[in-house]
Amino acid sequence: MIGITGYGAYLPRLRMRRQAIAEANAWYAPNIRGKGTRTLANWDEDVVTMAVAAARDCLGRGDDRGNIAALMLASTTLPFAERLNGAIVARALTLDRSVAASDVGGSQRAGLTALQHALDAVAAGRGDALVLSADARRARPGSGSELAFGDGAAALTIGSEGVLAQFLGSASESVDFVDRFRLAGEPFDYVWEERWVRDEGMSKMMPGVIGAALADAGIDPGSVDHFIMPSTLRNIDAQVAKAVGIPADAVVPTLFERIGECGTAHALILCAKVLETAKPGELIVLGQFGSGAQAMVFRVTDEVGAVRPLRGVSGWMARGVEEDRYTKFLSFKGEIALERGMRGEQDQKTALSTAYRHEDALLGFVAGRCEVTGEVSFPPSRIIYAEGQPLKDTQRPYGLAERPAKVLSWSAEYLSFHRSPPHCYGQIDFDGGGRVLMEFTDVDPDAIDSGMDVEMTFRIKAIDETRGYRRYFWKATSARPAQEEH
Amino acid sequence: MASGIKDRVAILGMGCTRFGERWDASPEDLMVEAFGEALEDAGIEPGQIDAAWFSTHMPDVGTGRGGVPMSIALRLPNIGVTRVENFCAGGSDAIRNAVYSVAAGATDIALALGVEKLKDTGYGGLPVTNVGTLIPQWYPAAVAPANFAQLASAYRAKHGIDADLLKRAIAHVSVKSHDNGAKNPKAHLRKPITVEQVLDAPIIAEPLGLFDCCGVSDGAAAVIVTTPAIARSLGKNDLVTFKALQLATSNGWELQGSGWDGSYFHTARIAARRAYDEAGIADPRRGIDLTEVHDCFSVTELVTMEDLGLADEGGAVRDVLDGAFDADGRIPCQIDGGLKCFGHPVGASGIRMLYEVYLQLLGRAGARQLADPKIGLTHNLGGQPSQNVCSVLIAGLEKA
């Protein structure tokens, strides 16, 4: 049996209120309205960081990730065109160097394409695979997409043991139906008329491919329990379900009003949401439109309750905080250049040779733990200080990313250039040893104090606009309970 | 056990420029100004100086690297000039090198001069720099106010002190320094302020507001040292001698270990203990008449009173509010205005601290002169609370 063996997701903390966007643009685009919220990635989040977060949600806090042999990262907003984004994620997760990582893109169905690749790899006996999909799309200010899009990520592990949703069958179709396009390097999609997309594209292609997938699986459409087909077009999922013969009550709510439409990640986010409450024997169909169409069929197994994500889609949905400030939204999305002052002119050039030499520390947050004294040093050092007895070369790799920690001291400052002031940082003490002076993110300065519980999150450390590079590191964020803020 | 430097080296002369936004002055101007005053005070010619140490922290915005900028500016007679850089403690470290050379007998007369030209960046505060290629890849792009502000959160947590009470105590620190600075014609900031002004000022780094931060200044200071015997042969009778000069440097224990609680300076306590031992001071509260400490931020000065043993642990808030370190208090601190108001041209600050102690001991401090001080202490810190260099220097009248 081959199928899904674990699931997780990530949704950024910020939830932009659509009405706030609409009101800010009402002078210009009075007919663009919306209700509810959409997720908004913080300035230091992108596809790579959100994929890491979703993967950690899926994989849990354990150190042993040695079963993962392949990693597929799907997105149409990968930060790097040259530099394997999946490799950054793999190293942040401290996966073995032997992992086969790949980036998958090209269309909105890239998430399902990556999932199919993973299933094929597992079927070929190449070991377990980690499928990640994330998107953080830009939309032109004043456009409908600005309200519709959301930022988010999902993760699935694929394997042949402990399967909680068995893969039954699939189908796909690849055609050059251009409902939207974006030339490489361009910021925004160009979109053709919705009515044409709906009537000539989705309504014609999706039923055929979904029907073919069901036939491949040997499943009667009427027995489908969960039908997932993300789209910003209202009710198109219900229309396609009806055309195929899938029961109307099987159509999975899109979560559009709460989180927006998260691009290539959305189908997998909804899948992860369904798996939270799915019962053994239930049938799940995933369908996605984009340069053709793709569909897959899974059956939930008795194992479904045995594996849980750390927070899951529901946990992340409950963990948001509403945002009303439109210029903050624009700034985080890169659509507005706020005054930075001269301190913002600091060169952010990254020494790539240094970065590689310290790859485990910088991407994996791996410290050194002295075998003799138990002292933990970050970054790892050749000599560990012990009173009157410095010890040389006694440290072994010791991961910090998944360890609980507390704030020792902190401040929130307004002096340096920061994309989301105040710039908060402080000394963090890890349970079991280790102390790092590090930046905070997604924290409310009024809520920080010495002794506060924090957890680690992989984020953008600095953006080098001169050379078009970004580097990543770990930051501390409040280890707030799931329900606290909503 | 080393015999130490007590009374083996004397100050022959000192000079210090007016600190502040010296738009008119280049590093060369500042060096020439401080050196000229020191030479005149010493009563010697440049050709009598055997070696020099040059302290400057940020060469890229001001002076340039190596010993050359000072040798050229002062047209020194091809003697050895070494640039000393040890963060904000570089000035004291330059003194240390000059003093050690005299104590060792390697030189008869040595010069230490510090200069910093900070006001050519185009913005306020310290210049923004990158430190190496690895540190910026993980360490926060931290600024000094937030590094030092962290003392407050840790101090509050350790001693269970209410945030408003600590804020008021550190406000008193700044008000006191402004009162003192107002009487100092060479000080950068010369206006008295009120506690309310401090409390209402914009926040720079929680909980530090604008008036909790020292001035960022241009300036230079110089000291010429020699042996007491040579000083007397040159006509000096009332000598100020070095009683102790100790430097302690972090080794990562505070930043990376887990034993430090973040509320004090580990190095300052070590340097102070060594300095009191070297000077033979059993009880600093009785043995020290005035202090010039590294009050880069108000909270730094408050915890430093404990680090130097001048206040009980957890007791500095009370002592500060009681005025123990005011001009008329038990042990006046920053009688010249300190970094807060005299200003902080980084590489010069340690020498400026000694300049004030020297003037006070010789009764030359004008309107801010204390009554008959005999022993003064300078505490000069470089870096930040969790990783730093700390110098404690004790100077006194020769017979004290």
**Tens-place pLDDT, residues B363-376:** 999 999 999 999 99
**Domain of A291, in residue numbers:** 3-332
Which sign does the torsion angle of CA A333, A334, A339, A342 carry?
positive
Q: Is B351 on the interface with A (CB under 8 A)?
A: no
Residues of A in contact with B136 (CB under 8 A): 348, 462
Residues of A in contact with B261 (CB under 8 A): 408
Task: Tell me the pLDDT tens digit for each residue of B220-256.
Answer: 999 999 999 999 999 999 999 999 999 999 999 999 9
User: Given this model, what pLDDT does residue A485 score?
Assistant: 43
Enumerate residues 6+ apart whose C-beta is below 8 A from A120: none
- Residue A437 has its nearest CB partner, among B203, B253, B386, at B386
Is the confidence at residue B62, as pLDDT, over 70?
yes
User: Given this model, what pLDDT does residue A484 score?
Assistant: 43
- Residue A429 has its nearest CB partner, among B205, B208, B258, at B258
What is the rounded average pLDDT of the residues B351-355? Answer: 98
Whether residue A7 is found in the same domain as residue A152: yes
User: Do residue B128 and residue A351 have CB atoms under 8 angstroms apart?
Assistant: no
Instruction: Burial-class residue A125 by CB neighbours within 10 Å (0-12, 13-18, 19+).
Output: exposed
Cα gap A129→A307, rounded to integer Å: 16
From B88, B213, B333, B390, active-site residue: B88
Question: Is residue A375 included in any domain, yes or no?
Answer: no
A77, A48 Cβ separation under 8 angstroms? no
Question: Is residue A121 included in any domain, yes or no?
Answer: yes
Closest-CA distance, B1 to chain A, in angstroms, reads 17
A vs B, Cβ pairs < 8 A, gives 141
The size of chain A, in residues, is 486
Enumerate residues 6+ apart whose C-beta is below 8 A from A310: A8, A56, A57, A60, A61
User: Do residue B137 and residue A355 have CB atoms under 8 angstroms apart?
Assistant: yes
Whether residue A187 is found in the same domain as residue A306: yes
Q: To the nearest whole number, what is the mean pLDDT of chain B?
A: 96
Task: Tell me the pLDDT tens digit for each residue of B98-156.
Answer: 999 999 999 999 999 999 999 998 988 888 888 899 999 999 999 999 999 999 999 99
Tokens matching residue B154:
């840790």
User: Given this model, what pLDDT does residue B288 score?
Assistant: 98
Of A291, A308, A332, the position where a domain reaches its end is: A332
Task: Tell me the pLDDT tens digit for each residue of B257-296.
Answer: 889 999 999 999 999 999 999 999 999 999 999 999 999 9
Question: How many domains does chain A fold into?
Answer: 2
- Specify the pairing of strand A405-413 against strand A292-300: unpaired
- The answer to whether residue B379 is catalytic is no
Closest-CA distance, B145 to chain A, in angstroms, reads 8
**How many other β-carbons are positioned within 10 Å of the β-carbon of residue A221?**
20
Domain layout of chain B by residue ranges: 10-121+217-229
CA A90, distance to chain mean position in Å, is: 14
Task: Tell me the pLDDT tens digit for each residue of A211-220.
Answer: 999 999 999 9
A46, A151 Cβ separation under 8 angstroms? no
- Residue B262 has its nearest CB partner, among A408, A434, A461, at A408
Whether residue A270 is found in the same domain as residue A146: yes
Whether residue A177 is found in the same domain as residue A60: yes
Closest-CA distance, A79 to chain B, in angstroms, reads 18
Question: Is residue A374 included in any domain, yes or no?
Answer: no
From B341, B344, B379, B390, active-site residue: B344
Question: Is residue A386 included in any domain, yes or no?
Answer: no
- Residue B386 has its nearest CB partner, among A376, A427, A433, at A427
Whether residue A310 is found in the same domain as residue A449: no
- Residue B130 has its nearest CB partner, among A347, A381, A437, at A347
Enumerate residue ranges in chain A where pLDDT < 50. 483-486
Closest-CA distance, A143 to chain B, in angstroms, reads 36
Instruction: Burial-class residue A240 by CB neighbours within 10 Å (0-12, 13-18, 19+).
Output: buried
User: Given this model, what pLDDT does residue A481 score?
Assistant: 60
What percentage of chain B exceeds 70 in pLDDT?
100
Task: Tell me the pLDDT tens digit for each residue of A448-465.
Answer: 999 999 999 999 999 999
Is the confidence at residue B1, as pLDDT, over 90?
no
Cα gap B343→B12, rounded to integer Å: 24
Residues of B in contact with A374 (CB under 8 A): none
Cα gap B2→B252, rounded to integer Å: 26
Which of B128, B129, B249 would you mutate first to test chain A, the one with the most A CBs within 10 A?
Answer: B128
User: Do residue B157 and residue A422 have CB atoms under 8 angstroms apart?
Assistant: no
Of A276, A302, A332, the position where a domain reaches its end is: A332
* A-contacting residues in B 80-139 (Cβ below 8 Å): 121-123, 125, 128, 130, 133-134, 136-139
Residue appearing with tokens 């000291």: B223
Q: Is B161 on the interface with A (CB under 8 A)?
A: no
Question: Is residue A439 included in any domain, yes or no?
Answer: yes
CA of B134: which chain A residue's CA is closest?
A354
User: Given this model, what pLDDT does residue B257 score?
Assistant: 87
Closest-CA distance, B172 to chain A, in angstroms, reads 21
Whether residue A84 is found in the same domain as residue A167: yes
Residues of A in contact with B203 (CB under 8 A): 414
- The answer to whether residue B344 is catalytic is yes
Residues of B in contact with A378 (CB under 8 A): 256
Is the confidence at residue B53, as pLDDT, over 80?
yes
- Residue B146 has its nearest CB partner, among A355, A411, A461, at A411
* A-contacting residues in B 192-251 (Cβ below 8 Å): 202-206, 208, 251
Closest-CA distance, A462 to chain B, in angstroms, reads 8
CATH of the domain at A328: 3.40.47.10
Question: Is residue A396 included in any domain, yes or no?
Answer: no
Q: Please tell me the class of the B10-121+217-229 domain.
A: alpha beta
A426, A462 Cβ separation under 8 angstroms? no
User: Given this model, what pLDDT does residue B61 score?
Assistant: 78
